Chains A and B, each alone.
Chain A
Amino acid sequence: MIRFDNVGLRYGSGPEILRDVTFHVLPGSFHFLTGPSGAGKTSLLRLLFMSLRPTRGLIFVFGENIADLPSAGRAALRRRIGIVFQDFRLLEHLTTWENVALPLRVMGKKESDYADDVTDLLHWVGLGDRIHAYPETLSGGEKQRAAIARAVIGRPELLLADEPTGNVDPAIGNRLLRLFVELNRLGTSVIIATHDYALMEQLEAPRLMLREGQLQASGS
């Protein structure tokens, strides 16, 4: 599904943030991506999501070498990936429902075809009574769930989450982890970037450990 071969990344002429990163993500797998702050977790996620290009090495996403893909091809691959940002990235002028429906709108689907799915998903993540609320009125946990709902509404084959429990209390964190596990059971591969060891201890899953830009331990 995802393959990194000796990938290196540097910003401008600065030092290498990531060095010789090699790993393989199989369909239906669940990984934690961990390491201390500044180890390069977010940069690795951005590479996975094709919002950055590696300075060296090869990245294959769904079997495609992303270096060979035009912009439209990368956009098509991104539609097969859901991403949850640490800072949620919800659009403030759209309601919770409209934010969650955004990936389907982008895909060109008709509202009548997806309206019920969006409403059902919002109920499933516990936001049934916040459908018409704007992000500024949502709590941190509610925003996180809305961001997760947006990431999964398009039934992605791969879900990437950057510190998904970083802004929520432990109880909500556990609930979100159960949500990711449930999605994984339904066939979505999941990579969670976190340095929350308590969260990782709750689940037996391979850990991709980044330290000083290098992947030190991996499992697939």
Chain B
Amino acid sequence: MTVLNDIRDYPWTSLLAGILPAPLTARLPRRFQATTAQIVPSASIAGNALTVVIAIMTFLACLTAGGVYMVNQSANAWVDDIASEITIELDPIDTANIEKKMTLVSLFLAKQKGVTRVRPLTAADSAKLLEPWLGSTAALSALPVPRLIAVEIDRSSPPDIDLIKSALSRNFEGVTVDDHRRWQAEIRLITRSTALGGLAVLGLVAAATIAVIVSATRGAMASNREIIEVLHFVGANERFISSEFSRHFLGLGVRAGLFGAFAAVIAFLLLPFLMHLLGGGAVTEAEARRLLGSGELDFGGYLLLLLVVIVVAALCMVTSRFGVIRVLRTYD
């Protein structure tokens, strides 16, 4: 009940005044406007420069978090795709009738337990797969391009891949099975590396934000020393004084965080176009699409950006609160 009372008694209108610009606050209905003046004036806490710095930090954090989220989503989709498929590769060298061999191998695979679909790729399909790297050229038909058979497997009761491998090598020459395990491992490695890199960037952004807020808190306390002393003399405890300051920093964090996240949302909305504009050719664009998917954030991604704003605002509030308490202890 104490927590509920604390929530009910929290000066929400003062917080709102800290988040919204003054002209906008003045237009709000009366019940959303603070009835009593703020003990610590907003103007004495921090200027626009701090808001801009926190907004930039949030923007960078949102870009990083959103980017890592996209890579993860894209990698998961990839892993899902390749985990439910194996590829059979037929070497065309020393094979008199490759089409006949394709048919025989396909028929053999279709009979195996746990195989749901066998899809032999035509020579044109194989050439198309190489198109981003080799271009569309007639010379491809002269090259000994391996022929592929895509085999979809039942993930609930998968076939024994090793058994299929040994049966194929016994019955057919020049046939190899790629179960994509190496790719899965590499994708997972890339995903983890990206996530770790993202976490490192987020850690740096958080550290920079904390440093800026600590410095701003000290500055705010120095410029409001007289107010703090008066509060001290009228019996205000650390909790009261620190909440007066941290409320301002929470408002600043929310305002700057929303600005930063909004800029990041714009950047993500523009990303598909940017990928196309900055593409650098079909290969780069294709690789970027493989890494980032469509380049659009889904609902979960936008929720993640909201989470970043909440974390930045909370960081501002908590850091300033501890900063104020630390300075107050030097007064006592």
A198 within 8 A of B: no
Using an 8 Å CB-CB cutoff, how does the interface string of B230-251 with A read, 1 for contact, 0 for none? 1111111111100000000000
- B39, B226, B238, B239: which has the most chain A beta carbons within 10 Å? B39
Give A88 to B64 CA distance when docked, in angstroms: 52
Residues from chain A with Cβ under 8 Å of B230 in the complex:
89, 91, 102
A79-B235 CB under 8 A given contacts A71-B328, A98-B36, A102-B39: yes
A111 within 8 A of B: yes
A53 — nearest CB in chain B belongs to which residue? B332
What are 20 A-B contacts with C-beta separation under 8 Å? A71-B328, A71-B329, A71-B332, A72-B239, A75-B235, A76-B237, A78-B234, A79-B234, A89-B230, A89-B233, A91-B230, A93-B37, A98-B36, A101-B36, A102-B231, A103-B234, A106-B231, A106-B236, A108-B9, A111-B36
A window 129-180: CB within 8 A of B? 150, 154
A56 within 8 A of B: no
Residues from chain B with Cβ under 8 Å of A71 in the complex:
237-238, 328-329, 332
- A93, A95, A154: which has the most chain B beta carbons within 10 Å? A93
Give A98 to B39 CA distance when docked, in angstroms: 9
User: Interface size for chain B: under 10, 10 to 19, 20 to 34, or 35 or more residues?
Assistant: 20 to 34
Using an 8 Å CB-CB cutoff, how does the interface string of A69-92 with B read, 1 for contact, 0 for none? 001101110111101010001010
Interface size on A, residues (CB 8 A): 29
Using an 8 Å CB-CB cutoff, how does the interface string of B182-212 with A read, 1 for contact, 0 for none? 0000000000000000000000000000000
Give A57 to B332 CA distance when docked, in angstroms: 18
A10 to chain B, nearest CB (A): 18
B287 within 8 A of A: no
Interface residues of B, Cβ cutoff 8 Å to A: 9, 35-37, 39, 41, 226-227, 229-240, 328-329, 332
Give A85 to B230 CA distance when docked, in angstroms: 10
Using an 8 Å CB-CB cutoff, how does the interface string of A102-131 with B read, 1 for contact, 0 for none? 110111100100000000000000000000
Whether B237 contacts A93 by the Cβ 8 Å rule is no
Interface residue from B9, B234, B239 paired with A102 (Cβ < 8 Å): B234
Interface residues of A, Cβ cutoff 8 Å to B: 49, 51, 71-72, 74-76, 78-81, 83, 85, 89, 91, 93-95, 98, 101-103, 105-108, 111, 150, 154
Whether B41 contacts A76 by the Cβ 8 Å rule is no
Residues from chain A with Cβ under 8 Å of B41 in the complex:
93
- 10 additional contacts, CB 8 Å, given A71-B329, A105-B36? A78-B234, A78-B235, A83-B233, A98-B36, A102-B234, A103-B234, A103-B235, A106-B234, A111-B35, A111-B36
Give A76 to B234 CA distance when docked, in angstroms: 10
